[in-house]
Structure 1
Amino acid sequence: MDLSPVTEALSVKSFDKIADICDDLMLKVSSEGISFHDDWPYAIHLLGYFYINDCDSARFLWKTIPAAIKESKPEVVAAWRIGQKLWTRDYPGVYGAIRGYDWSQEAKDMVAAFSDLYTKRMFQLLLSAYSTITIHDLALFLGMTEDAATTYVVENGWTVDATSQMVTVKKQAVKREQKLDSSKLQRLTEYVFHLEH
């Protein structure tokens, strides 16, 4: 089984493409009738879904992973621990799951990049959901020490009241565009077709 497209994407830090690359390879290998379970980079595949914020696909993948793999590959379980925390919206727990495992060299850069991206997502969540927040809660949401979290938000224009230990959120206009990716729809159609036949 040729996993070079995954290796290449990891080496150039194209982490946002990992899930799609893995999905395409999995479909190709499955259609050729090749057994791939023992060699498949499940941890990387799961992390790829988390990177693009697709917990549903990660849950589906987790359910299809053979029990023997889950028992023999602790990094797969560690990756899924991140997914469990994401799924239950245990925001501080995500950071605990990230830091709670000594990731392989193959996964280390991707996990670090996901952690940074997740912190940015949490910042945007705080920006949209809060007008004030305690420094303690801020640190939990951002997975940082209280000092580091305070510095992070002050650099983004928020204000801190050291006496009350409260942070005032500086609201920003947020623009969002939703794009339909026809290639994902095509892959999903092919995958469902393959499962049905």
Structure 2
Amino acid sequence: MELPPLSIEQLSKLAASNVFPSQLYGILSEYETDARLVAAGSGSPETGSADPELLSLFYATFFFAHLLTKQIPEARALTERMPASIRHQDPSLQNCLTLLRAIWQTEHAQVYQALRNLPWPESLQPLVRRYECFFQDQTLIAVSTSYEAIRLPTAAMYLGLDTAAAEQADPTIVQKFTDCGWKWDSETKLLHPVPIIVPSVESQPSNGIRDAMAMLGNRG
């Protein structure tokens, strides 16, 4: 299926869609050549030329597609391909760089701070929220297989939960972990993780970009 022209409307629809991350990544990969033409000032009549708003949304959306497919080094390479004219000036792309730095340095608290507190534009909000959930899930899985016992405030920090409440053994925070099968020792104030094994959400058969575009079309 031929892709629609690269546009802010199309990118916004992609950002808000529920297509699999690999499909989102594949679609945006197809658009990168168009984005480079726009950056060079030789875009198509549909895209216009050197459109900073379009380029900002494209590269920020593509950046999150890299994160959602766990391609962190590739996301870093993408930031180097962003047009210099907007990379150091555009707020969304600056936010992406801040977020990438926190992820690269495995600073969990700073990752959540970047996702929750930086001024992301409305069109990117669905991807920001989607990645926050993804990051939490991946972190929970990693912690569950890395610790035999862990303090509740430490576990809360990894998931971006209220560490002050966790210090007081807040039952609602304890329950978030026990709901995952973890054991809580109220005497030692320790959590005992149970390894979490999650099947791939992309294990369903798919025709890739064709299916993804059909899903987008169904959104009207």
Displacement of 1:83 in angstroms is 1.3
Runs of 4+ in 1 over 6 A off after TM superposition: none
After TM superposition, the score normalised by the length of structure 1 is 0.78
Which residue of structure 2 aligns with residue 154 of structure 1?
178
Displacement of 1:118 in angstroms is 0.9
**Are the aligned partners of 1:37 and 1:66 in contact in 2 as well (CA < 8 Å)?**
no
AA of the residue aligned to 2:176: Y
Match of 1:27 among 33, 36, 55: 33
1:44 and 2:64 are equivalent in the alignment: no
- Structure 2 vs 1, CA of residues 149 and 126 (structure 1 numbering), >3 Å: closer, same or farther? farther
1:103 and 2:103 are equivalent in the alignment: no
1:114 and 2:131 are equivalent in the alignment: yes
1:131 and 2:148 are equivalent in the alignment: yes
After TM superposition, the score normalised by the length of structure 2 is 0.71
Higher relative contact order (Cα pairs below 8 Å, separated by 6+ residues) = 2
Which residue of structure 1 aligns with residue 6 of structure 2?
2
Q: Deviations over 1:143-180 (max 9, x none)?
A: 1123454221111111112332210112355667x99x
Q: What SS does structure 2 have at the residue aligned with 1:72?
A: coil
The two structures, once aligned, show a CA RMSD in angstroms of: 3.0
AA of the residue aligned to 2:182: W
Displacement of 1:15 in angstroms is 6.2
Which residue of structure 1 aligns with residue 86 of structure 2?
69
* C-alpha separation in 2, matches of 1:159 and 1:88: 30
* C-alpha separation in 1, matches of 2:196 and 2:121: 38
Any gaps of 5 or more consecutive residues in structure 1?
Answer: 184-197
Range with bigger deviation, 147-156 or 102-111: 147-156
Equivalent residues, number: 183
Q: What SS does structure 1 have at the residue aligned with 2:139?
A: helix
Kindly, what percent of the aligned residue pairs are identical?
16
Any gaps of 5 or more consecutive residues in structure 2?
Answer: 44-48, 209-220
* C-alpha separation in 2, matches of 1:158 and 1:57: 34
Which residue of structure 2 aligns with residue 85 of structure 1?
102
Displacement of 1:13 in angstroms is 3.1
- Structure 2 vs 1, CA of residues 87 and 172 (structure 1 numbering), >3 Å: closer, same or farther? closer
